[in-house]
Amino acid sequence: MRTYDNPVISGFHPDPSVCRVGEDHYLVCSSFEYFPGVPIFHSRDLVHWRQIGNVLDRPSQLGLPPDAPASGGVYAPTLRHHDGLFYMITTNVSARGNFLVTAERPEGPWSDPVRIDVPGIDPDLAWDDDGNCWCTTSGNQVSRIDPLTGAVLEGPIPVWSGTGGKYPEAPHLFHIGEWWYLLMSEGGTERAHAVSIARARSPRGPYEPGPANPILTHRGTDRPIQSTGHADLVQAADGTWWMVLLGTRPRGHTPEFHVLGRETFLTPVRWVDGWPVAGPVEERHAAPAAWHPLPAESSRDDFDGAVLAPQWISPRGRPDGSWSLAERPGRLTLHATGPTLDRPGHTFIGRRQQHHDCRIAAHLDPTGARAGLSVRLDEAHHYDLEVHDGQASVIARIGPLRRCVAGHPVPPGPLTLEIRVRTADVPPPTVTRPGEVDRERTGVGGHGPDTLAFSVHTGDERVLLAELDGRYLSTEVATGFTGRVIGMYVTEGSAAFDWFDYEGTA
Ligand code: 6LW
């Protein structure tokens, strides 16, 4: 039997919403304070996904204030296709509230935003047979809107409060046969997260709760996938039904830490007596019929293209003048815009950490700059491997504490920086010449979820500067809705990155 492994989109990719057009599926996720916003993926089989762009790729569409807090910005989106047009509706909690954009092609270009003045977050769109557009938001409030002008024509009508869990949210309304099904989540996005359902003959209600709510939850279990919820439904071209949802994979000693953010999982759905039944979500399931593997993508970006690949993101924006692929062709040149990674406004271009075990390396010319690689949860939680003035340093920022934990002289000119992330039970790497690693001081060897090892290559030599406990770059410590992002930065002068390599192991 052919199987697939969960998550189907790993790393910080929460709040998935999916739609199908013919044989093609498209999926979007939340992006919070990062630019560009709302990554969009394509798949033929719901298992293998390729990012084809970002829906909100113009600063004017995104409207992120420069001081938007971490985990502010763009919350859960819904993606739908209706009458030849793609619709993506979401909430910018830091600026404009609920809005939608449309496109003829999922790759874009997407329109300018149309504001929808409905209360709540997690907006959903559904159409009835008369062409009315129904927008449902958290608290399960249903409004009839004009999606082209944003006018609210009726409502909001509060239709169902769920089964009693906190935060009834993530509603999605589906017209299936004679029924309108309201799929929603409750219990909060943490370990008690659950998916429940109700149905009615009309979007306005009255709604009858499902007989087996919650229809999916992992609360109180020792399953490796936790916090399952915020789900969306899709029917594949062969008639089978599937659910995409978010979940986490905590690691380490109690209370356990998740470091990759909330990820996107896929699970089959059965219909029993007119109600969908889903879960539990396994690490491995029988695959959908339309098996369609993708060609392997290179893990290395040589910065040879004219545009940045869609996985590269920056906190709050990427101002013109702060970066260039043209200035030194074949290199990504970064110019400092802020003096510290500890506050918004700095120059950082990174990608999501998508594997518990991975190796990240970058080759840069730091001459005259203060630049390096950083693993970040937010401005108050990051580990940096930095080069400045003939010295490579490892800096840990954990909440209010900032400390340089290691330093090593480096010769002038280009060099390679390397970060290895390993789940905690994997033995440390062997190095050509160990630097000074003070395990007591850095906390490695405890019960954290993983270990981050920071090295610098000069010529043939690799010098390990420090190993740090990964728990301080987890959501349980930092709080919030995002996950680890690893990237290149400069906080003084300008630095040119020749390549960036991300290699994940299962
Ligand atoms: C999102 C809410 C949730 O808006 O977390 O897990 C919030 N669900 O539905 C942020 O992702």
Compute, in angstroms, the gap from residue 30 CA to the centroid of ligand 1. 8
Compute, in angstroms, the gap from residue 404 CA to the centroid of ligand 1. 35
CA atoms within 13 A on the CB side of 323: 22
Identity of residue 176: I
For the domain bounded by 300-504, which CATH number is listed? 2.60.120.200
The catalytically annotated residue of 15, 365, 379, 469 is: 15
CA atoms within 13 A on the CB side of 329: 1
Residue among 13, 15, 29, 248 to mutate when testing ligand 1 (max atoms within 8 A of CB):
15
Kindly give the number of the ligand 1 atom that is closest to the alpha carbon of 71.
Answer: 10
Q: Which residues line ligand 1 (CB under 6 A)?
A: 14-15, 30, 75-76, 121-122, 169-170, 189, 229-230, 246, 481
Tokens describing residue 6: 């969960």
- Which pLDDT score is estimated for 506? 65
Kindly give the number of the ligand 1 atom that is closest to the alpha carbon of 15.
Answer: 11
Q: For the whole model, what pTM was predicted?
A: 0.95
User: How far apart are alpha carbons 227 and 225 in whole angstroms?
Assistant: 7
Residue among 230, 246, 265, 479 to mutate when testing ligand 1 (max atoms within 8 A of CB):
230
- Which pLDDT score is estimated for 394? 98
Tokens describing residue 299: 């893990």
Do residues 101 and 114 make contact, with C-beta atoms less than 8 angstroms apart?
yes
User: How far apart are alpha carbons 319 and 325 in whole angstroms?
Assistant: 14
User: How far apart are alpha carbons 145 and 118 in whole angstroms?
Assistant: 9
The catalytically annotated residue of 169, 384, 386, 450 is: 169
Compute, in angstroms, the gap from residue 188 CA to the centroid of ligand 1. 8
The whole-number mean pLDDT for each consecutive block of 10 residues of the chain, a chain of 506 residues, reads: 96 98 98 98 98 97 93 98 98 96 98 98 98 98 98 98 97 98 98 98 98 98 97 98 98 94 98 96 96 91 97 96 97 97 97 97 96 98 98 98 96 96 64 46 67 93 96 98 98 98 89
- Whether the upstream peptide bond of residue 288 has omega within 30° of 0, thus cis, is no
User: How far apart are alpha carbons 82 and 132 in whole angstroms?
Assistant: 11
**Nearest CA to 102 among 88, 123, 90, 92?**
88
Compute, in angstroms, the gap from residue 15 CA to the centroid of ligand 1. 6
What fold characterizes domain 3-286?
A: Tachylectin-2; Chain A (2.115.10)
Kindly give the number of the ligand 1 atom that is closest to the alpha carbon of 229.
Answer: 6
Kindly report the protein residue whose alpha carbon is nearest to atom 9 of ligand 1. Answer: 170
Kindly report the protein residue whose alpha carbon is nearest to atom 1 of ligand 1. Answer: 76
Compute, in angstroms, the gap from residue 72 CA to the centroid of ligand 1. 11
CA distances from 48 to 4, 65, 389 (A): 9, 34, 44
User: From start to end of 236-309, where are the E strands?
Assistant: 241-248, 263-272, 275-278, 284-286, 300-301
Exposure class string for 352-391: b at 16+ Cβ within 10 A, else e: bbbbbebbbbbbbbbeebbbbbbbbbbbbbbbbbbbbeee
Residue 114 phi, psi dihedral angles, 5° rounding: -110, 115
Kindly report the protein residue whose alpha carbon is nearest to atom 10 of ligand 1. Answer: 75
- 279: Cβ contacts below 8 Å, ≥ 6 apart: 195, 215, 216, 217, 218, 228, 243, 267
User: How far apart are alpha carbons 241 and 243 in whole angstroms?
Assistant: 7
Which residue is listed with tokens 């970064």? Answer: 334
User: How far apart are alpha carbons 25 and 50 in whole angstroms?
Assistant: 11
Secondary structure (3-state) at 268: strand
Active site residue 15: yes
Residue among 29, 90, 169 to mutate when testing ligand 1 (max atoms within 8 A of CB):
169
Compute, in angstroms, the gap from residue 417 CA to the centroid of ligand 1. 35
Per domain, the residue ranges of the chain are: 3-286, 300-504
- Which pLDDT score is estimated for 297? 85
Residue 478 per-residue DSSP state = H
- Which pLDDT score is estimated for 425? 60
To the nearest 10°, report the CA torsion of 464, 394, 379, 317: -80
Active site residue 501: no
Kindly give the number of the ligand 1 atom that is closest to the alpha carbon of 193.
Answer: 6
User: How far apart are alpha carbons 118 and 125 in whole angstroms?
Assistant: 12
User: How far apart are alpha carbons 244 and 379 in whole angstroms?
Assistant: 30
DSSP, residue by residue, 120-152: SSS-EEEE-TT--EEEEETTTEEEEE-TTT--E
Residue 193 phi, psi dihedral angles, 5° rounding: -50, 140
- Which pLDDT score is estimated for 447? 80
CA atoms within 13 A on the CB side of 483: 27
